[in-house]
Amino acid sequence: MFEKILIANRGEIALRINRACKEMGIQTVAIHSTADADAMHVRLADESVCVGPPPSSQSYLNIPQIIAACEITGAEAIHPGYGFLSENARFAEIVGEHGMTFIGPTPAHIRLMGDKIAAKQAVKELGIPTVPGSDGAVGSDADAMKIADAIGFPVLVKAAAGGGGRGMKIARRAEELSRALSTARAEAKTAFGDDAVYLEKYLEKPRHIEVQVLADSFGKVLHLGERDCSLQRRHQKVWEEAPSPALNEIQREKIGGIVTAALTKLGYLGAGTVEFLFEEGEFYFIEMNTRLQVEHPVTEAVTGIDIVREQIRIAAGGAIEFEQQDVVISGHAIECRVNAENAFTFQPSPGTITQFHAPGGLGVRFDSAIYSGYKIPPYYDSLAGKLIVHGRNRNECLMRLRRALDELVVGGIETTIPLFQNLVREPDILNGDYHIHWLEKYLASIKKP
């Protein structure tokens, strides 16, 4: 087992990884920008190293500085968390070239799944169902039109190197396709340095279902059930739950079996999440994330399995110590992403937290690195914390979530707490009857406070 791990991230996920390391008796090194000198993850780590000024390009994405921080502190491994360098295949290679361990999949698998076109073709060959669409990047507008006519409108234009909704446009009719292609290509070039796009059939009311997997170096691949991430705004997840209200046990075992069989063939290593759209009883692959997910705590809540701990053990050469039949889904869990944003316009709201009170009680977890007096910097992602609630069933979970939201206080800045206080009283949410376009329509229909 590792004696010292460097955590190449910030905020709540850095603190989450630090906690797992402490419970395993592993020393930790935090990195930080000058803007994060007083951050909680820096305060609680055994050591800390400043890696640059506030812009992430000069600090949390500064590979030479991060490698140097490892070398001067004697860290044997790097945990990248999510975001930043977590899906950077070249970074994973560099870590290995310097004699350290990257806590994550192999660079080859990161690279494969980071290319959406290559990933779709690979999983199709492995037996995972995919959304009807182009076999690869589309060339001319005329070629794209032929494909769109074949699969039928509406179609979705997606960036091959994309993620987070960038480089993604809908064409509902033939006359909209050319503009959607040009806009998506321009966005993709700006965001990812690659203007390749592909086409997929646009599904009208699908659920977003993702399957959590773990795989060790001995060929064992297990799934930990699914998460439903259908409540989204501009393709960004807002609320996640496990298990999905839309699936039954037969569907759950079917898709879990398909995913584990495919990743066994692939020789995958570490934690990963395979994401699908689900409509009318059918699953359609959209992407695989070769890292820890923001919403991993809901799976931990219903399985009792510490995913970060397993990541570390696997990276250190350990075997998964349980079998698929040992993974039992118990009760229901929901996560709300509490962002430093206006609850209804989603305008960012950095600033100083003047009051803070975390909710408590049975089945309540608040993953956050904020504290009273902490100043949320304007340079990074707006996630202030994640409220995770577990109950014996979905109804108990929802009632507990309602109570916990009313207890949670974050003063001095605007947050998305009021949005969730509204959602836990909406009939569609209470009935689990929603899809990936539901939240956008809801926000458009309500009167903003």
Number of C-beta neighbours around residue 100 at 10 A = 19
Length of the chain: 449
Phi, psi for 121 (deg, rounded to 5): -65, -40
- Would strands 101-102 and 47-52 be described as parallel, antiparallel, or unpaired? unpaired
Q: Which of 185, 227, 252, 291 is catalytic?
A: 291
**Known active-site residue 185:** no
CA distances from 276 to 209, 215, 264, 267 (A): 5, 19, 18, 21
SS (H, E, C) the chain: CCCEEEECCCHHHHHHHHHHHHHCCCEEEEEEEHHHCCCHHHHHCCEEEEEECCCHHHCCCCHHHHHHHHHHHCCCEEECCCCCCCCCHHHHHHHHHCCCEECCCCHHHHHHHHCHHHHHHHHHHCCCCECCECCCCCCCHHHHHHHHHHHCCCEEEEECCCCCCCCEEEECCHHHHHHHHHHHHHHHHHHHCCCCEEEEECCCCCEEEEEEEEECCCCCEEEEEEEEEEEEECCEEEEEEECCCCCCHHHHHHHHHHHHHHHHHHCCCEEEEEEEEEECCEEEEEEEECCCCCCHHHHHHHHCCCHHHHHHHHHCCCCCCCCHHHCCCCCEEEEEEEECECCCCCCECCEECCEEECCCCCCEEEEECCCCCCEECCCCCCEEEEEEEEECCHHHHHHHHHHHHHHCEEECCCCCHHHHHHHCCCHHHHCCCCCCCHHHHHHHHCCCC
d(CA 239, CA 399) in angstroms, rounded, equals 15
* Residues involved in catalysis: 291
